[in-house]
Amino acid sequence: MSGLKKILGLLWIVLGPAIIIFLFMQAADKIAAASEGIARTNTILQWSIIILIFIPICTGLVIFGYYAWKGEYDHLPESSEELS
Amino acid sequence: MRSTESNVTQSITQVIAASSLGTLIEWYDFYIFGSLAVIIGQQLFPSDAGASALINTLAIFAAGFIVRPFGALVFGRLGDLIGRKYTFLLTLVLMGGSTFLIGLIPSYSSIGYAAPILVLILRLVQGLALGGEYGGAATYVAEHAPVGKRGFFTSWIQTTATLGLFLSLGVIVLAKNILGAKNFADWGWRIPFLVSILLVVVSIYIRMKMHESPVFSKLKAEGKVSANPLKESFQKKANFKMVLVALFGATMGQGVVWYTGQFYAQSFLENTCKLDFNESRYILLWAIVFATPFFVIFGSWSDKVGRKWIMLTGMALGVICYRPIYQYFLDATNVKEMQKTMLLSESEPVIERALVPNKADSLITTTVTKTLTNGMTFKESKVEVTTEDVLAEVPGVQTVIKDVTLSTQSYIMVIALVFFQILLVTMVYGPIAAFLVELFPTQIRYTSMSLPYHIGNGVFGGLVPFIATLIASFQGSTPLSGLWYPIGIAALSFVIGAVYIDNRRGDNVMD
């Protein structure tokens, strides 16, 4: 199980930036496709919100993957002494 | 001995009742906005904004979810510093006050874009308050609960979100039926917001009488209260890695299952399937009534078999079943096809004429009510534009289906399928408070558990209606395309949870 946790850790490290790139590509595509005026302003606003929210979350996913790769999750703490 | 046990049970019952009532009211406040998204959209934005009014209203609705993690940080820190009781008294006041004020905001026609901006600000206050509330209530109950029954006792807090939604739907349906559709759309939608202030006053009175959590009081007496809960939660790797695993392996998947089953289902039935306003709400109300006891059943069961696999099974079933369920919703309401072979009768047409804002064109709407042989009814409106300008390009006649009511058989089936989705909600949500409480030590529990909970629910879950509606509006997408968002997130969370989380029943929350 420890080996699987580490290997998947690499996947999470890659997945974080991949999601952000995918979101940027989608945003560019949809904004370009939106008609002029209010429709385009709305589309830019909506995609800005989505990207702004998901950047820190994807950063968290990369950190999670890094910890997994380093074996930090091979044993989960079972008491506060282990956490402090 | 038996008397002491009885006193403990009585005391925890009072703790649960007092905590749950306040939390239920906060959920009620938070959800009336979502339940009235279509009407609020019409009030806050220009009348010709069309679908973008709904998407922008859902964006304001989502903004309340997005700030929940910040509320978790601000009030979580306060809760770990000054105590659980006073912190969630404060969140209750903020939530009640902002909900009441939303009910007083003038419409777009009176104050223009100031209307959506003011509502957005109040919605953000609501989100901050809710971010502080839930973690406090769950921590407070868990720290009173006896060992081995934490899942059972905290599951009562878990029922409050669903019951808050139930209460909001009930008040809305009641107000609409009493006032009539037109009055409700004009001004009656404000009543559910204004009613909130009465509920909050009652809840504040009850909460004032509560005592501080015994575990926190002991910590305070011993001088062990954390000096900087935020720093301890997120700068210490040992804690931060637990925050991350709680988010990606549990609350993220739980959040999308919750909001798909209880929000997207209703939004889909009303906006995509064009079900009648009341019918879509009655379906959800019935499903909630039947499913709510399962929060306690799964919470209690998790004390015996562990939290992990109950939650993950709920996510896996969601991944597998969402598309077939929503395909059934589409098939059961496909009156365009059904009327080709099953049309029983058609009412006399009702013709409405309206001048469009340029005063040169007229909008003519011809509506007929149709009944099918299986008992279904719906309204079919043909909308056409006439113009005085002979050179103008006139758009063709548009046919709009609305107010679909189901046959008895389909009605029962749709209730059963929404019930099944809420059953999945009870699986993922019933045990999660106990799971999160047991993951973190007392000193930083309020802060540490609140953040992953509110990112999972507020951001991943709260964005389900907004992102799913957005995806479904893309060119080339189908009505089911929006489901890929909750399915993808739940699948990812299932894999992370299955690999990285222990199946614990954690006996010790006193350290």
The span from the CA of B154 to the CA of B146, in Å, is 11
Inter-chain CB proximity B441 and A68 less than 8 Å: no
Please state the separation of Cα B48 from the chain's center in Å. Answer: 28
Q: Is B213 helix (H, G, I), strand (E, B) or coil?
A: coil
Q: B142 burial class (0-12, 13-18, 19+ CB within 10 angstroms)?
A: buried
Q: Looking at the partner chain, which of B442, B455, B502 has a beta carbon nearest the beta carbon of A57?
A: B455
Residue pair B373/B345 in contact (Cβ under 8 Å)? The answer is no
In a domain, A16, yes or no: yes
User: Which of A42, A60, A84 is nearest residue B441 as measured by Cβ atoms?
Assistant: A84
Query: Per residue in B360-401, pLDDT tens?
Result: 677 788 999 999 999 999 999 998 877 766 666 666 788 889
Instruction: Show residues of chain B in contact with A67, CB under 8 Å.
Output: 237, 241, 244
Tokens of residue B226, six digits: 């954390």
H helix and E strand count, chain A: 3, 0
Contacts of A82 in chain B (CB under 8 A): 238
- At CA B47, angle to CA B42 and CA B52, rounded to 5? 70
Interface of B with A (CB under 8 A): 49, 52, 55-56, 59, 62, 66, 236-242, 244-245, 247-248, 440-443, 455, 459, 463, 467, 470, 474-475, 495-496, 499-502, 504, 506, 508, 511
Containing H/E element for B380? strand B377-387
Instruction: Write down the pLDDT at residue B1.
Output: 45
Which of A8, A46, A64 minimises the CB distance to B244? A64
pLDDT tens digits, one per residue of A25-38 = 988 988 888 777 66
Token duo for residue B50: 């069309």
What mean pLDDT comes out for the span A40-49? 78
Question: Rg of chain B over CA atoms, in angstroms?
Answer: 24
> Is A11 a domain residue?
yes
Q: How far apart are CA B159 and CA B155, in angstroms?
A: 6
Tell me B275's DSSP state: B
Residues of chain B found within 8 Å of residue A39, distances taken between Cβ atoms: 52
Percent of chain A with pLDDT over 90: 51
Token couple for B298: 């799964």
Angle B237-246/B432-439 helices, nearest 10 degrees? Answer: 170
The first and second tokens of residue B209, run together, are 């009488």
Q: Please indicate whether, in this complex, the C-beta atoms of A67 and B508 are within 8 angstroms of each other.
A: no
Indicate yes or no: CB of B440 within 8 angstroms of CB of A60.
no
Per the CB < 8 A criterion, the answer to whether B260 and B314 are in contact is no
Q: Do A76 and B242 touch (CB under 8 A)?
A: yes
- Which tokens sit at B30? 């938070």
Report the alpha-carbon distance of residue B121 to residue B489 in Å, rounded. Answer: 29
Note whether A38 and B462 are within 8 A (CB). Answer: no
For residue B462, which of B30, B125, B21 has the smallest C-alpha distance?
B30
d(CA B328, CA B334): 10
Q: Is B146 in contact with B8 (CB distance < 8 Å)?
A: yes
Structural domain spans, chain B: 2-333+408-500, 336-405
What residues contact residue B466 under an 8 Å CB cut-off, 6+ apart?
B55, B58, B59, B61, B62
Kindly report the CATH class assigned to B2-333+408-500.
Answer: mainly alpha
Interhelix angle for B68-82 vs B84-102, to 10°?
150
One-letter identity of residue B457: N
What pLDDT is stored for residue B236 in this prediction?
Answer: 82
Exposure b/e, B254-283, CB count within 10 A at least 16 = b? bbbbbbbbbbbbbbbbbbbbbbbbbbbbbb
- Could you say which of A42, A57, A78 has the minimum Cβ distance to residue B52? A42
Instruction: Pull the structure tokens for residue B331.
Output: 């098939």
Residues of A in contact with B500 (CB under 8 A): 5, 68, 73, 76
Q: What is the largest CA-CA distance in chain A?
A: 59
Identity of residue B259? Y
Q: Alpha-carbon Rg of chain A, whole angstroms?
A: 18
Reduced to 3 states, what is the DSSP secondary structure of residue A25?
Answer: helix
Give the predicted TM-score (pTM) of the model: 0.85
Burial class (CB in 10 A: 0-12, 13-18, 19+), B113: exposed
A17/chain B closest Cα distance in angstroms: 16
Split into its structural domains, chain A has a count of 1
The residue among B289, B268, B313, B270 whose CA lies nearest residue B431 is B313
Half-sphere exposure of B9 (CA within 13 A, CB side): 7
Q: Which chain B positions have a beta carbon within 8 Å of A65's beta carbon? A: none
Phi/psi at A57 (nearest 5 deg)? -70, -40
State how far the Cα of B255 lies from the Cα of B451, in Å rounded to an integer: 13
Burial label, B388 (beta-carbon count in 10 A; 0-12, 13-18, 19+): exposed
Per-residue pLDDT tens digits of chain B, which is 511 residues long: 445 555 555 577 888 888 888 788 878 877 788 778 778 878 887 766 666 676 777 778 778 888 888 888 888 888 888 887 788 788 888 988 998 999 999 988 888 888 888 988 898 998 898 888 888 888 888 888 888 888 999 999 889 888 888 898 888 889 989 999 889 988 999 999 998 888 888 888 888 887 777 777 777 777 777 777 777 777 788 889 989 999 999 999 999 999 999 889 988 999 899 999 889 999 999 999 999 999 999 999 999 999 999 999 999 999 999 999 999 999 999 999 999 999 999 999 998 887 766 666 777 889 999 999 999 999 999 988 777 666 666 667 888 899 999 999 999 999 999 999 999 999 999 999 999 988 888 777 878 888 898 889 888 998 888 888 888 888 888 999 999 999 999 999 999 999 999 876 655 655 5
How high is the ipTM of this complex? 0.91
Q: Which residue type sits at B334?
A: N
| Residues B68/B454, Cβ–Cβ less than 8 Å | yes
- A79 lies in some domain: no
A81 in any annotated domain: no
Domain span at A28: 2-74
Helix axis angle, B214-221 to B114-144, nearest 10° = 80
**Contact across the interface for A67 and B244, Cβ inside 8 Å:** yes
Distance CA B139, CA B196 (A): 25
Dist CA B10 CA B395 (whole Å):
69
Handedness of CA B417, B419, B422, B427 (dihedral sign): negative
Give the burial class of B206: count Cβ atoms within 10 A of its Cβ; 0-12 exposed, 13-18 middle, 19 or more buried: middle
Nearest to B248 among A33, A49, A64 (CB): A64
The H or E element that residue B22 is part of is: helix B2-35
- Number of residues that make up chain A: 84
